[in-house]
Amino acid sequence: MGRIKCVAMIPARMGSKRIPKKNIRLLRGKPLINYAIDLANQSQRFDEIWVNSESDLLNELAIGSGVKFHKRPVELSSDDATNKDFTTEFLEKHECEFLIMVNPTSPLLRVETVRCFYDLVVDNDYDTVLSVLDEYAECFYDGRPLNFSCEKKINSQNLSPVQKVVWALTAWRRSTFMKAVRERHCGTFAGKIGLFPIPKDESCDLDTLEDWAIAEGMLIARSLKKEPPRYWSRMTDDRVF
């Protein structure tokens, strides 16, 4: 069996409204999109890495960062365009067995997480792999309990987790995705689906300025020197609480 061709796609439009021009906004001194570009490069897993955008400025940034650029039609960069739309247009132009979308709005991802996600994709027979966050908490939907009973309280660590799709990393088998699109089905969730849990401290998705502040704080915390935990005791602190 030959080597699987796996392509990384980094979707990035310029017209973000809640965080204006977020893909070129500096986060801790680096353009947001470069977090995804650097991750894909440093993982050393992909045959090709593409930035997918309508913006000539992002074209310049992508080429300067050592990756390729796919210029999508302007109409696929509106608020109404979905990832199914621009992914379909991209896959019509590029051959591969798997496409992995590396989301630039997930700057907290670590390289090892990308490598583990890639390994899950190529070592299994999934058609779609979604990144999820496991939430070990009592959750309601439409006023009804999802993963617990109101008749009995149990410790949160014993709950079945609710798995929230975070879109940090997503993989599609090209043939399955395109077949679903041709048959007018949703390629985004086509075929056999696998779920890949993302570590909680890597799962922040930058949709709002509040998200941006959280990600910035996490990056600052990572840059600090790690110290062992310290605890209050009467021997070391005479203050009264």
**Beta-strand relationship, 128-135 and 193-197:** parallel
Q: How confident is the model at residue 15 (pLDDT cuts 50, 70, 90)?
A: confident
pTM above 0.75, yes or no: yes
pLDDT digits (tens, 9 = 90+) for 192-223: 999 999 999 999 999 999 999 999 999 999 99
Q: Show the domain range for 69.
A: 6-135+163-223
Residue 40 in any domain: the answer is yes
Residue 47 in any domain: the answer is yes
> Stretch 8-34: mean pLDDT, rounded?
94
Q: What is the CATH number of the domain that holds 74?
A: 3.90.550.10
Q: Count of domains in the chain?
A: 1
Residue 126 in any domain: the answer is yes
Residue 219 in any domain: the answer is yes
Residue 229 in any domain: the answer is no
Q: What's the pLDDT score for residue 235?
A: 74
Residue 75 in any domain: the answer is yes
pLDDT digits (tens, 9 = 90+) for 92-135: 999 999 999 999 999 999 999 999 999 999 999 999 999 999 99
Beta strands in the chain (DSSP E): 6-11, 26-27, 30-31, 48-53, 68-71, 98-102, 128-135, 140-141, 144-145, 162-173, 193-197
Residue 187 in any domain: the answer is yes
